[in-house]
A and B are shown apart, each in its own frame.
Chain A
Amino acid sequence: MFADVYNKTTEGTDLGEKIAVSMRNITKTFGSVVANKDVSIDIRHGEILSLLGENGSGKTTLMNMLSGIYYPDSGSIFVDGKEVSIKSPKDAYNLGIGMIHQHFKLVDVFTAAENIVLGLKEKGSINIKRIAEKVNEICSKYGFEIDPYEKVYNMSVSQKQTLEIIKVLYRGANILILDEPTAVLTPQETEKLFDVIRSMRKDGKSIIIITHKLHEVLRVSDRVTVLRKGEYVGTVDTKDATELSLTEMMVGKKISLDIERPEPDDPKPRIKVDNLSCINSAGIKALDNISFTAYSGEILGIAGISGCGQKELLESIAGLQKTLPGSSIVYTEPETGEEKQLIGKTPKQISSLGISLSFVPEDRLGMGLVGSMGMTDNMMLKSYKNEGFFFTQRKKPRALAEKVKDELEVVTPSLQTPVRRLSGGNVQKVLVGREISSSPTVLMTAYAVRGLDINTSYTIYHLLNEQKKKGVAVIYVGEDLDVLLELCDRILVLCEGKLNGIAEGRKTTKEEVGLLMTNLQNGGDTDEQK
Chain B
Amino acid sequence: MTLSSFISLFQAAIVFGTVIMFGSIGETLTEKSGNLNLGVPGVMYLGGIAGLVSVFFYEKYTPEPNQLICVILALASSFAAAALGGLIYSFLTITLRANQNVTGLTLTIFGTGVANFLGGSLNKLAGGVGQISVPYTSDAFKFQIFGSLSSSSFGKLFLSYGWMVYLAIIIAVVMQIFLSKTRKGLNLRAVGENPATADAAGINVTKYKYSATCIGCGIVGFGGLFYVMDYIGGTWANDGSIESLGWLAVALVIFTTWKSANSIWGAYLFGLLYWMFYYIEGLTRSSQEIFKMLPYVVTILVLIIISFRKKKENQGPQSLGLSYFREER
B-contacting residues of A (Cβ < 8 Å)?
30, 67, 69-70, 88-90, 93, 99, 101, 105-110, 114, 117-120, 122, 125-126, 151, 153, 167
Q: Is the CB of B183 within 8 A of A125?
A: yes
The contact string, 1 if C-beta is below 8 Å from chain A, for chain B 286-329, is: 00000000000000000000000000110100100000001101
Q: Is the CB of B189 within 8 A of A107?
A: yes
Most buried by B among A108, A118, A167: A118
A119 to B200 Cα, complex, angstroms:
9
Q: Is the CB of B193 within 8 A of A108?
A: yes
Q: Is the CB of A119 within 8 A of B187?
A: yes
Q: Which residue of B lies closest to A71 (CB)?
A: B327
Name the one of B181, B182, B183, B312 contacting A109, with C-beta atoms under 8 angstroms.
B312
Q: Is the CB of A125 within 8 A of B181?
A: yes
Assuming A110-B193, A125-B182, what are 5 further A-B pairs, CB within 8 angstroms?
Answer: A90-B202, A107-B197, A117-B183, A119-B202, A126-B186
Q: Which residue of B lies closest to A70 (CB)?
A: B327
Q: Is the CB of B197 within 8 A of A106?
A: yes
A126 to B183 Cα, complex, angstroms:
6
Number of A-B residue pairs at CB separation under 8 A: 74
Q: Which residue of A lies closest to B312 (CB)?
A: A109
Q: A109-B313, A153-B312 are in contact. Are A89 and B187 (CB under 8 A)?
A: no
For the complex formed, measure the closest distance between the CB of B180 and the CB atoms of chain A, giving whole angstroms: 10
Q: Is the CB of A89 within 8 A of B201?
A: yes
Which residues does chain B contribute within 8 Å of A153, judged by CB atoms? 312
The contact string, 1 if C-beta is below 8 Å from chain A, for chain B 172-203, is: 00000000011100110110011011111111
Q: Is the CB of B201 within 8 A of A105?
A: yes
Q: Is the CB of A105 within 8 A of B202?
A: no
21 cross-chain CB contacts under 8 A: A30-B327, A69-B200, A70-B327, A93-B202, A101-B200, A106-B197, A107-B190, A107-B193, A108-B193, A109-B193, A109-B312, A109-B313, A109-B318, A110-B189, A114-B186, A118-B190, A118-B198, A118-B201, A119-B198, A119-B202, A126-B181
Q: Is the CB of B194 within 8 A of A107?
A: yes
Which residues does chain A contribute within 8 Å of B318, judged by CB atoms? 108-109
A238 to B304 Cα, complex, angstroms:
57
Q: Is the CB of B183 within 8 A of A122?
A: yes
For the complex formed, measure the closest distance between the CB of A257 and the CB atoms of chain B, giving whole angstroms: 27
Q: A70-B327, A105-B197 are in contact. Are A89 and B183 (CB under 8 A)?
A: no
Name the one of A105, A114, A125 contacting B200, with C-beta atoms under 8 angstroms.
A105
Name the one of A69, A99, A108, A167 contacting B312, with C-beta atoms under 8 angstroms.
A108
Which residues does chain B contribute within 8 Å of A101, judged by CB atoms? 200
Q: Is the CB of A118 within 8 A of B187?
A: yes
Q: Which residue of A lies closest to B202 (CB)?
A: A90
Q: Is the CB of B182 within 8 A of A118?
A: no
A118 to B327 Cα, complex, angstroms:
21
Which residues does chain B contribute within 8 Å of A88, judged by CB atoms? 199, 202
Which residues does chain A contribute within 8 Å of B187, judged by CB atoms? 118-119
A24 to B201 Cα, complex, angstroms:
26
Which residues of B, 151-165, contact A by the 8 Å Cβ criterion? none
Most buried by A among B189, B200, B327: B200
Which residues does chain B contribute within 8 Å of A122, judged by CB atoms? 183
Q: Is the CB of A30 within 8 A of B190?
A: no
Which residues does chain A contribute within 8 Å of B182, judged by CB atoms? 125-126
For the complex formed, measure the closest distance between the CB of A230 and the CB atoms of chain B, giving whole angstroms: 14
Q: Is the CB of B326 within 8 A of A69?
A: yes
Q: A105-B196, A107-B194 are in contact. Are A118 and B186 (CB under 8 A)?
A: yes
Q: Is the CB of A119 within 8 A of B313?
A: no
For the complex formed, measure the closest distance between the CB of A61 and the CB atoms of chain B, giving whole angstroms: 9
Q: Which residue of A lies closest to B177 (CB)?
A: A125
A99 to B197 Cα, complex, angstroms:
12
For the complex formed, measure the closest distance between the CB of A73 and the CB atoms of chain B, giving whole angstroms: 12
Which residues does chain B contribute within 8 Å of A69, judged by CB atoms? 199-200, 326-327
Most buried by B among A69, A109, A114, A122: A109
Which residues does chain B contribute within 8 Å of A93, judged by CB atoms? 202
Which residues does chain A contribute within 8 Å of B198, judged by CB atoms? 107, 118-119
Which residues does chain A contribute within 8 Å of B315, judged by CB atoms? 109
For the complex formed, measure the closest distance between the CB of B142 and the CB atoms of chain A, giving whole angstroms: 38
Which residues does chain B contribute within 8 Å of A70, judged by CB atoms? 327
Which residues does chain B contribute within 8 Å of A89, judged by CB atoms? 199-202
For the complex formed, measure the closest distance between the CB of B313 and the CB atoms of chain A, giving whole angstroms: 6
Q: Across chains A and B, which 4 residue pairs bring their CB atoms closest together, nearest first?
A: A90-B202, A119-B201, A105-B197, A119-B203
For the complex formed, measure the closest distance between the CB of B165 and the CB atoms of chain A, giving whole angstroms: 29
Most buried by B among A67, A105, A117, A125: A105
A67 to B201 Cα, complex, angstroms:
11
Which residues does chain B contribute within 8 Å of A107, judged by CB atoms? 189-190, 193-194, 197-198
Which residues does chain A contribute within 8 Å of B203, judged by CB atoms? 118-119
For the complex formed, measure the closest distance between the CB of A135 and the CB atoms of chain B, giving whole angstroms: 16
Q: Which residue of A lies closest to B181 (CB)?
A: A125
A28 to B194 Cα, complex, angstroms:
26
Q: A119-B201, A126-B181 are in contact. Are A106 and B194 (CB under 8 A)?
A: yes
Name the one of A90, A108, A117, A151 contacting B186, with C-beta atoms under 8 angstroms.
A117
A19 to B51 Cα, complex, angstroms:
62
Q: Which residue of A lies closest to B201 (CB)?
A: A119
Which residues does chain A contribute within 8 Å of B189, judged by CB atoms? 107, 110
Which residues does chain B contribute within 8 Å of A108, judged by CB atoms? 193-194, 312, 318
A67 to B199 Cα, complex, angstroms:
11
Which residues does chain B contribute within 8 Å of A117, judged by CB atoms? 183, 186
Q: Which residue of A lies closest to B194 (CB)?
A: A107
A58 to B74 Cα, complex, angstroms:
57
For the complex formed, measure the closest distance between the CB of A19 and the CB atoms of chain B, giving whole angstroms: 25
Q: Which residue of A lies closest to B203 (CB)?
A: A119
Most buried by A among B183, B203, B326: B183
Q: Which residue of B lies closest to A94 (CB)?
A: B202
Most buried by A among B181, B201, B313: B201
Which residues does chain A contribute within 8 Å of B186, judged by CB atoms? 110, 114, 117-118, 126
Q: Is the CB of A118 within 8 A of B197?
A: yes
Name the one of B190, B202, B326 contacting A110, with C-beta atoms under 8 angstroms.
B190
A151 to B187 Cα, complex, angstroms:
16
The contact string, 1 if C-beta is below 8 Å from chain A, for chain B 197-225, is: 11111110000000000000000000000
A125 to B183 Cα, complex, angstroms:
6
Q: Which residue of A lies closest to B197 (CB)?
A: A105
For the complex formed, measure the closest distance between the CB of B182 and the CB atoms of chain A, giving whole angstroms: 6
For the complex formed, measure the closest distance between the CB of B120 and the CB atoms of chain A, giving whole angstroms: 40
Which residues does chain A contribute within 8 Å of B194, judged by CB atoms? 105-108
The contact string, 1 if C-beta is below 8 Å from chain A, for chain B 30-46, is: 00000000000000000
Most buried by A among B186, B193, B202: B202
Which residues does chain B contribute within 8 Å of A105, judged by CB atoms? 194, 196-197, 200-201
For the complex formed, measure the closest distance between the CB of A69 and the CB atoms of chain B, giving whole angstroms: 7
A126 to B185 Cα, complex, angstroms:
11
A339 to B183 Cα, complex, angstroms:
65
For the complex formed, measure the closest distance between the CB of B109 and the CB atoms of chain A, giving whole angstroms: 25
Q: Which residue of A lies closest to B187 (CB)?
A: A119
A74 to B326 Cα, complex, angstroms:
19
Which residues does chain B contribute within 8 Å of A167, judged by CB atoms? 201
Name the one of A67, A90, A119, A126 contacting B190, with C-beta atoms under 8 angstroms.
A119
A133 to B234 Cα, complex, angstroms:
57
A108 to B310 Cα, complex, angstroms:
13
Which residues does chain A contribute within 8 Å of B183, judged by CB atoms? 117, 120, 122, 125-126
A119 to B202 Cα, complex, angstroms:
6
A69 to B200 Cα, complex, angstroms:
7
A117 to B201 Cα, complex, angstroms:
9
For the complex formed, measure the closest distance between the CB of B93 and the CB atoms of chain A, giving whole angstroms: 21
